[in-house]
Structure 1
Amino acid sequence: MSEIEDLLREDLRGQTAYGAPQLDVPVQLNTNENAFAIPDDVAAVIEEYISREIRGLNRYPDRDALALREDLAAYLGHGLTPSQVWAANGSNEILQQLLQAFGGPGRTVLGFMPSYSMHPLLARGTGTNFVDALRDADYTLSPGHVGWAIEAHDPDLVFLVSPNNPTGTALDPAVVDAAYEASRGIVVVDEAYAEFARDASSTALGRLEGRPRLVVTRTMSKAFAFAGARVGYLAADAELIEKLLLVRLPYHLSSLTQAAARGALACAPQLQAEVDELKHQRDRIVKNLRAKGLPVADSDANFVLVGGLVDAAAVWKAVLDQGVLVRDVGLPGRLRITAGTEEETTALLDAFEIVMKQEPSLFEESK
């Protein structure tokens, strides 16, 4: 053990940092980014919003991001007011702030893996004990299982994800209700991919009224093609958001970030057209891979989880050799594939067809 390792917190020793492979290949479908670049007309609007802030960068930004929160509330609808919305540098910072305020040493957050892999990492970073209550064999989550897990572990926070990453499946709203009724603590519904859901009513936003411990987190990374800007946000009771101010860093969201986000929100209708196209390509992947005999779950996200693989790592490498990068999320016999443009989707489907013909032993026989 090195001198620095010896000085590291004991619970961090031997751990590895989060990260997905970043390889220079023609088709990159591994990190659930929006495949479309910001359109020129949208970029022009965002540039105008940013330009208004340039000469005032000698001053600190609005630490409460009031104008951005007003725009976010209008975008979300459901009668939300700016006092019920909070923004930060990506949904990861939002989740971290929730853990800093309501988790910490001696407290527990309950999750249901496989799900977003940052949840246990964020818990560890804040000294919060992460308990994995698992899922059913088909990766679904039922109200009964969630209620049982909460009663068994009595967590201070509960993390639910809808649509779930990496499975792509949306939660039955009854699961959210069961979690809230069984819990004494904060119930967080992570809706990073909500705009891609087949049923828009599946969001938990409509359940916020009268539930002061319920939180819905979102991001602009996916539907707004804003991964590089790092803007996440949440909707919750105004009192809960007031408590988050106790742990937020001063002036944590830069003036340029706030301006860029407001510009993108002003162009939400234009960006929705690209969301619709990604949903079409996602469904195209599902349809075509099923036609090849591979089991693929219906997805409400901008990615799909494909199964039927004898050796997922070998299939990942074989598809990569065809110039297409997908994601091995560590689930036996499964790979996660981000929906891309029409051309990228065609390349992905062609790559699978080639690999299935050249190395059929890597795939299970169709039932």
Structure 2
Amino acid sequence: MENGYVLRDFKFGSPEWGTSGGQVTWSFASTVGVFFAFDAIISQPYYQNMIVQAFQAWENVADIDFVQVADSAASDIRLGWDEIDVPAHFAQQVHTAYTVNGTFEITSEIRFDPVKTANITAETFLGLAMHEIGHAIGLDHIDDQSLIMNPIVYISALSVGDIAGAQFIYGSANGTDTPVGWDGSSWDDSYEGGAAGEAIKGHGGDDRLRGNGGNDNIDGGDGLDFAIYVDSAFNYDLHYQGSGTLSVAHRMGQDGTDLLSNIERVAFPDFTLALDIDGIAGQAYRVYQAAFDRAPDPAGLGFWIREMDAGLSLYEVSRGFVASQEFGDIYGYGASNASFVAKLYNNVLGRDGESAGLQFWGDLLSSEKMDKAAMLASFSESPENMAGVAPAIQSGFWYF
């Protein structure tokens, strides 16, 4: 094992390590292969697109040129559907390699079990495809769950060890020895950078991105994205730049200075900074303050944010608050509808209610068209309350 990868002792192109693999053809198998029967061709665009992405991920980091061709026995790598008898195996790669005039000639076949893969997520299938292609280009298993070449695939993006292995075999796609950038997928990605500065792009999905050393530019793209740091939050300086990006600088220089954009959470071992004030975290903060007429405590706020991240609705959170002892102490046990509405105006909006508003909300409660939990959520997310809370959270807020 070297630097997070294990080799299989063969490569496309010249047998010398670190040299280009040249052009490598691949195809969706339409006939029986050398190793596999191939029950059916992979004709579904859904799966075809993810396989294309998987080939592109390796090509982005290593000096190897994958070209899709019409299927024939001459294809370097063939892929198809084929039932696998082993219950725990979703995919498999088999190859043979032999030397002709000093060059390895490689026949590689990859099969996916159509029944088993029908029951997994697109993210998992993408990771499987990347894993099997990794075998095809010369990488073996390594016991590290953070890598795509782990025997069980947990991720859907190449990590530092995967990239280092591919570059040891073929050299870098950009002529350098270390990755200078990483492009994620539209799925939930997890990426850990190296010692050098990188441009890290998460694109779609809920991503967890860690730059490590160097000065990194981390762009989460769409979704609920986390920038991960390994040292205490107290050891970093955070400043907003004129462009709206957040600068995160380690005070001792260990992690360099990162620029974050489209990142919703900045996670440290002891605290997390929530930046999605118009998203889940902002909703949790506002309903917490609305319910108890005080700034949320970081531990309690963290609990409810994690619950909402996991799928709990704003109404369900509000219902939990309404049922709490603190809420009853503030709003009164068995208080009249009129008293409840009046206190909502004062505690949430910081003012007395106007007659029409008091009447409107009171009637909704009396007619049972709305319960107290739904009303608390409505006041919490009202434009007036959002504007009132905004100055306190516009730069983000901490929870743990």
Q: Confirm or deny a common fold (TM above 0.5).
A: no
Higher relative contact order structure (alpha carbons within 8 Å, sequence separation ≥ 6): 1
Q: Which TM-score band applies after superposition, normalised by the shorter structure?
A: under 0.3
Output the TM-score relative to the length of structure 1. 0.22
Q: As a proportion of its length, which structure holds more strand?
A: 2
Task: Name the one with the larger helix percent.
Answer: 1
Task: Provide the TM-score with structure 2 as the length reference.
Answer: 0.21
